A and B are shown apart, each in its own frame.
Chain A
């Protein structure tokens, strides 16, 4: 039964091999969806192109549905699936910094590598900036250590945090996604751009 727990079902090397293939698939989808164009990515903030919103929300709701159905069929053990830790304040601050960088640079970390692979100079500069940020964070760690570690909440899921059934949360997310897609298509018609 999935997940293929490392050391238990598969070896660490097999795990890396699987990650390699999944990574190639991810990069392929990003490139194929046009995510290596910073104009397309920034479009979501100006309303002329909502492909980022659509692709990522589609991925999220398909993933959520898939996990819950697989769990229902007994194909995946949800109790051993890794959930990222939540440090509330650093998540908020990090989200704001990442969002600002996204609007200014036109890439998020994953798509910048995708675009650098096809030779976009701005993406290479973006990656340089990213490493600069990593360096500043690492060197100045004592300064923001307290903020970084503050408000540790463990591994909560949103559904657990609000105390609702996981399935109901997924349904709400789907309804929200469909409404957002609708709004996004409306915005694309409202703020069109000829060339980008």
Chain B
């Protein structure tokens, strides 16, 4: 009787196949922690990786990047007055309401939280980060800084390095595309406490010029 001999190929196929059968029998890994510990949150906060600069967000908005989801954590009234293009409103008070969990705890979009400043959005980020939610970020400086950098960019000093000027040119262009100068409509100027810092008139003009050039 002829002795049956495995060729190296058959041997390799058999090894790989049996490894595949073993791995298919292993249940899904559930050992990864769902919630983060206070130490882990502190580590992340120290590294500051949750902050995204307005320049990056402006670029994503101009490019029409579909992965970006802006989330306004201010009260609905302030959201109604002004919000960034495409932003949705999840008021800070209702952050943990079950209506919004699908939006905050997901793996598809890049959520960027913002408020008027950094603090409120960062608090919201800390809370949902502690729940183990991923893909959430904070807009550095909030709307105030947004208006300062994107909507009303200041020309750099004549002695500034070239990349300062490049950044300024980008911001001027983004300002035009994202409605710089339209931040504070005329009606709002008479109404009482403004939610967002209004640009001064001469700056407003400047921003529009920049956008058109």
Contact = CB atoms under 8 A, between A and B. Distances in A.
Interface residues of A, number: 31
Interface stretch (A67-75, A100-108, A187-195): A67-75
B38 to A, nearest CB: 18
Given A165-B28, A174-B16, A72 B23 contact: yes
A178 B64 contact: no
Interface in B26-57: 26-29, 31-32, 47
Nearest to A174: B20
A129 interface: no
B59 interface: no
Which among B23, B25, B26 has the highest number of chain A CB atoms within 10 Å? Answer: B23
Interface residues of B, number: 26
A169 B100 CA distance: 32
B23 A171 contact: yes
Contacts of A167: 20, 23-26
B13 A181 contact: yes
A91 interface: no
A174 B21 CA distance: 9
B67 interface: yes
B5 to A, nearest CB: 18
A166 B28 contact: yes
A170 interface: yes
Interface in B100-155: 106-109
Given A77-B32, A174-B17, A178-B13, A152 B108 contact: yes
A159 to B, nearest CB: 10
Contacts of A79: 32
Given A65-B16, A152-B67, A178-B13, A72 B108 contact: no
A132 interface: no
Interface in A42-87: 61-62, 65, 68-69, 71-72, 74, 77-79, 85
B23 A85 contact: no
B66 interface: yes
B65 interface: yes
A166 B26 CA distance: 9
B32 A61 contact: no
14 contacts: A65-B19, A68-B26, A85-B67, A145-B63, A152-B67, A154-B108, A165-B24, A166-B28, A168-B24, A170-B24, A171-B20, A174-B20, A175-B17, A178-B13
- Which 7 residue pairs across A and B have the least CB separation, nearest first? A154-B108, A171-B24, A174-B20, A167-B24, A171-B20, A167-B23, A152-B66
Given A145-B63, A178-B17, 18 more contacts: A7-B47, A65-B19, A69-B19, A71-B29, A72-B23, A72-B26, A152-B66, A154-B107, A154-B108, A155-B108, A167-B20, A167-B24, A167-B26, A171-B23, A174-B17, A174-B19, A178-B13, A181-B9
Interface of A: 7-8, 61-62, 65, 68-69, 71-72, 74, 77-79, 85, 145, 149, 152-155, 165-168, 170-171, 173-175, 178, 181
